[in-house]
Amino acid sequence: MTERQGGSRGWAAARRAVLSGLRFTSLRLRVVVVFGLVALTAAVSASAIAYWLNREAVLTRTQDAVLRDFQQEMQNRAGSLPARPNQNELQHTAGQMADSSQRFTVLLVAEDTDGETVSGGSGGLNGFSLQDVPESLRTAVNKRQSTGDGGAAGDAPYHLFWQRTVDDGTPYLVAGTRVIGGGVTGYMLKSLEPEAKDLNSLAWSLGIASGLALIGSALLAQAAATTVLKPVHRLGVAARRLGEGRLDTRLAVSGTDELADLSRTFNNAAEALEKRVDDMAARDEASRRFVADMSHELRTPLTAITAVTEVLEEELDSESGGLDPMIEPAVRLVVSETRRLNSLVENLMEVTRFDAGTARLVLDDVDVADQITHCIDARAWLDAVDLDAERGIHARLDPRRLDVILANLIGNALKHGGSPVRVSVREDGDEVVIQVRDHGPGIPEDVLPHVFDRFYKASASRPRSEGSGLGLSIALENAHIHGGEITAANSPEGGAVFTLRLPNDGSPLAEADEEERRAGGDTGSRGSA
């Protein structure tokens, strides 16, 4: 069963490869096949009509000549026989009739003086006999026909009848009639083999002509397909280049046919798309500059506001209780919102650095477990986080950016999933894998694809976040700039799981990024979303 399944898979793969090759040239094949079918149909139809017309013409001409000669011989020679001839007379006359220009075989039948039926033929006793004449033909020949009302002059009571037969593959013409006034009955046998050979030769000639027409049509179709498909191929290449971002791609236009119109339409569409993309890029750049400038401008008043809120916070925490209890809630709200605004501005500035491509790695050798411990301790999360990390797992990373990633992932888990949050670290080849798992309700399936989107805030299953909606997005950007990745999923045991993968050594990526920056090439951040 295994071998059979393997053979079936191999056959299916081969079939897919063949079909793929056919699809690659399907339009060319269709053009050639259509041309071939049209040419074959036309050639076969013309050959069949020509063969049928020639066949009828040849057979009719031969038949008319033979029947006319036979009828003339019957009138001249058989008509001169006595009413009751003997066998010798019949045979002698039949021989004379057979010597006509048409060279047919003759059989004469009559009654002798004793009332017996006698016959004589040009082929002797072993030649053409009465048994060789179809019975239907004998019946028609011997049947007396109506001569019309009053027996008009020229009407004959017996007519000439003929029939085509085939014996051992050879066609024959058999005819019969009786002498006017009664008496001798004559039958004629004429071989149509020469005509059949001529018609076979004609059929072969027409078949060869049809084959040549088919080959010629295939060559013509190939030439036509090449002529038609070459512009289509160029259009396909141009479309692929346009899809790769080369918006300056244009097609050379020549002629006034439909393909030229299609090329002009493509060029117009490409030009409009290039203009639209340039406009969008300009607006996007303007938006980025606006956000960056606005963030920088906000830092100065925020610094002053932060200093004031720190003084107010010290007053709140002092033992003297210098603030009026009536305004204490308002002061606490101002302090909280100031911190939130300060965090939002810092996040916006970080996002603008990623978008502008100015974010750079500052690498250092770090112990991943120590780095995670420092991140948790600095934010007073030791009681809410369960760390499962062995010391001695070292990596060359940017400590500040790793701290930003961990702070966002762990803070998000504590805020939305609840404690205890479990953080585990392991090595997987040349990567460090850090997993952050909470014990909350998990992430809804419709939210999973958007958890790293900027300003995306969650769903009905999770409370509304007080954050900016940029934390996970910034964490992902910081992972990308290291050449790593973050994925989000739901644990089968409940809760959400965020998995961070970072390379053990980010030096090659940092060096390549620095070389690109010095060369003045693409300044886009490798982690840019």
Residue 4 lies in a domain: no
Residue 239 lies in a domain: yes
Query: Token pair of 168, please?
Result: 């051992």
Burial class (CB in 10 A: 0-12, 13-18, 19+), 19: exposed
- Same domain, yes or no: 185 and 217: no
- Same domain, yes or no: 278 and 331: yes
pTM above 0.75, yes or no: no
Helix axes 471-481, 328-356, angle to 10 degrees: 30
How would you write the pLDDT of the chain (529 residues) with one tens digit per residue? 444 444 445 555 555 544 444 444 466 777 777 777 887 788 788 888 888 888 888 888 888 888 888 888 888 888 778 878 888 888 888 888 888 777 888 888 888 777 788 888 876 555 788 888 888 888 888 887 765 554 444 455 668 888 888 888 888 889 988 886 667 888 888 888 888 888 888 888 888 888 888 788 778 777 777 777 777 778 888 888 888 888 888 888 877 777 788 888 888 988 898 888 888 888 877 777 776 677 677 777 877 787 877 777 777 766 555 666 777 778 778 877 877 777 777 777 777 776 666 677 888 898 999 999 999 988 888 888 888 888 888 899 888 889 989 988 998 888 887 778 999 999 888 899 999 999 888 888 888 888 888 777 654 444 444 556 778 888 888 888 888 999 999 988 888 999 999 998 878 877 777 776 666 544 443 333 3
- Same domain, yes or no: 39 and 184: no
Q: How many domains does the chain have?
A: 4
- Does residue 91 contact residue 120 with C-beta atoms inside 8 Å? yes
Query: Token pair of 364, please?
Result: 């250092």
Residue 251 lies in a domain: no
Q: What is the pLDDT of residue 487?
A: 92
CA distance 221 to 224: 5
Picking from 313, 344, 375, the residue at the C-terminal end of a domain is 344
- Same domain, yes or no: 329 and 427: no
- Same domain, yes or no: 174 and 218: no
Q: Cα 153 to the chain's mean position, in Å? A: 80
Q: What is the pLDDT of residue 218?
A: 78
Omega within 30 of 0 (cis) for the link into 420 = yes
CA distance 24 to 18: 10
Residue 185 makes CB contacts below 8 A (sequence gap 6+) with 108, 109, 110, 141, 142, 176, 177, 178, 179
Q: State the CATH number of the domain containing residue 88.
A: 3.30.450
Q: What is the pLDDT of residue 529?
A: 33
Residue 252 lies in a domain: no
Burial class (CB in 10 A: 0-12, 13-18, 19+), 488: buried
Q: CA torsion angle for 133, 138, 140, 145 (degrees, to 10)?
A: 140
Q: What are the phi and psi torsion angles at 436 (to 5°)? A: -120, 115
3-state helix, strand, coil in the chain (%, to 5): 55, 15, 30
Residue 379 makes CB contacts below 8 A (sequence gap 6+) with 407, 410, 411
**16, 102, 220, 223, 262 from 258: Cα distances, Å:** 34, 64, 20, 18, 6
Domain of 282 in residue numbering reads as: 258-344
- Same domain, yes or no: 106 and 224: no
- Same domain, yes or no: 232 and 119: no
The residue written with tokens 């300009």 in the block is: 282
- Does residue 262 contact residue 235 with C-beta atoms inside 8 Å? yes
Q: What is the pLDDT of residue 2?
A: 43
- Does residue 183 contact residue 157 with C-beta atoms inside 8 Å? no
Burial class (CB in 10 A: 0-12, 13-18, 19+), 275: exposed
- Same domain, yes or no: 364 and 396: yes
CA distance 247 to 241: 8
CA distance 523 to 513: 8
- Same domain, yes or no: 483 and 392: yes
- Same domain, yes or no: 218 and 162: no
Residue 112 lies in a domain: yes
248: nearest Cα among 267, 224, 226, 265:
267
Residue 439 lies in a domain: yes
- Same domain, yes or no: 37 and 95: no
Amino acid at 107: L
CA distance 104 to 174: 10
Residue 9 lies in a domain: no
Length of the chain: 529
- Same domain, yes or no: 421 and 440: yes
Angle CA 181–185–189, to nearest 5: 140
95: nearest Cα among 73, 112, 111, 118:
73
Burial class (CB in 10 A: 0-12, 13-18, 19+), 323: middle
Residue 288 lies in a domain: yes
Q: State the CATH number of the domain containing residue 511.
A: 3.30.565.10
- Does residue 495 contact residue 447 with C-beta atoms inside 8 Å? no
Query: Token pair of 154, please?
Result: 């020229």
CA distance 13 to 328: 75
Please report the DSSP string for 168-194 in residue order. TTEEEEEEEEE-TTSS-EEEEEEE-HH
Q: Cα 493 to the chain's mean position, in Å? A: 44
